[in-house]
Structure 1
Amino acid sequence: MVFATDKEAYDLLAKLDIAYDRLDHHAITSVHDFGSSMSGQGVKNLFLKNKKSSQFYLVILPANKQANLSALGEHLGEKRLSFASDNQLEELLHVPAGTVTPFGLLFDKERKIRVIVDAEVDRTASIGFHPFINTSTLSIAYADLECLVAFLGYQIEVIIC
């Protein structure tokens, strides 16, 4: 598997004329490893799947929140949600574990992913994501996240996770 590169994320941002603040840091695979302060809010990205692996979910949560997978699954009409495998993550988002990012939607050609944002995410503040590498975080306006997701052919569903 060839993983996506940060150049692809920067090219997408440039194409959409999305401004960002960049913070370089040590490699992190969990938001809890992030010791630096950055403008905006910290979030974590989960990549989940239904029992049959026929539907996938990119879930964006506040950094300090734990998702209730049972309640989330019920809300989404799924009997059971679990974390997608490393292979599924690589196939659909072109990233290794620990670098889940909305930029990966670029590669979901079959539109198997639904984008979920927790209702507690502040939609008036900027939000940070890895640009396919876990040694940088890019902070963008939430409105620009909406623009990016729409450009890639998705709608954000805001629900309580």
Structure 2
Amino acid sequence: MAASRAELMAYLDGLGIRTETIEHPAVFTVAESAHLRSRIVGGKSKNLFLKDRKGRLFLLTAEDEAEVDLKRLHEKLGAQGRFSFASAELLREVWGVEPGSVTPFGAINDREGRVTVALDAGLLAHGRVNFHPLENTATTAVSAEDLIRFLRATGHEPLIVDLTGVGEAAEAS
């Protein structure tokens, strides 16, 4: 069973990770969250739950305005062939979140370590980063260092990638 938002917060607290959360109406895309920009301090993200030709799963967490060319991204992440978006069923099964709530915090639910997490260096450069806390009715801020510490604690050693020059935009939440 997937962790609840309260369980995630307790897990973060247990790791000594300081969080700040704001509540808001549900948002499903970066475009829908534009009205929240003034309320959110730090790097804003978009998250793409992807699979390669061999069925390997990846989460790309990028700066919300980063351009991502899915035709070339596999080269940066060491995937087999081009990426496609993983199904909503796979997202629920492995990452424990609904479409529109994709977040690196879903790593708490991937106990088998099926997902490779890639973090955009440009997003991390903000120092403070923001994500849905397993549901898209809130946004939780943590330090970039604490995000990496959380991912490592869940068994997900993140790939830090420079997305400069990886092309056209992809819309996600």
Q: Aligned partners of 1:25 and 1:48: how far apart in 2? A: 27
How is 1:1-161 mapped onto 2 (pairs within 5 angstroms)?
3-34=2-33, 35-36=35-36, 37=38, 38-53=40-55, 55-75=56-76, 76-161=78-163
Q: CA deviation at 1:4?
A: 3.7
Q: Aligned partners of 1:90 and 1:142: how far apart in 2? A: 25
The answer as to whether partners of 1:89 and 1:95 remain within 8 angstroms in 2 is: yes
Q: Aligned partners of 1:129 and 1:91: how far apart in 2? A: 20
Q: Aligned partners of 1:122 and 1:52: how far apart in 2? A: 29
Q: CA deviation at 1:73?
A: 1.1
Q: Aligned partners of 1:52 and 1:122: how far apart in 2? A: 29
Q: CA deviation at 1:3?
A: 5.0
Q: Secondary structure at the match of 2:123?
A: coil
Q: Aligned partners of 1:22 and 1:81: how far apart in 2? A: 32
Q: CA deviation at 1:156?
A: 1.4
Q: Aligned partners of 2:136 and 2:100: how far apart in 1? A: 7
Per-residue Cα deviation, 1:121-154 (whole angstroms, up to 9, x for no partner)? 2435200011111111001100000110111111
Runs of 5+ unmatched residues, structure 1 = none
Aligned residues: 159
Q: Aligned partners of 2:126 and 2:32: how far apart in 1? A: 25
149-158 or 119-128, larger mean C-alpha shift:
119-128
Query: Which residue of the partner structure matches residue 167 of structure 2?
Result: none
Runs of 5+ unmatched residues, structure 2 = 164-173
TM-score normalized by the length of structure 1: 0.92
CA spacing shift, 1:77–1:22, aligned 2, 3 Å: closer
Q: Aligned partners of 1:3 and 1:31: how far apart in 2? A: 24
1:62 partner letter: E
Per-residue Cα deviation, 1:32-88 (whole angstroms, up to 9, x for no partner)? 2111121111111110001232x1111011101231112111232421211000000
Q: Secondary structure at the match of 2:81?
A: coil
Q: Aligned partners of 2:119 and 2:158: how far apart in 1? A: 7
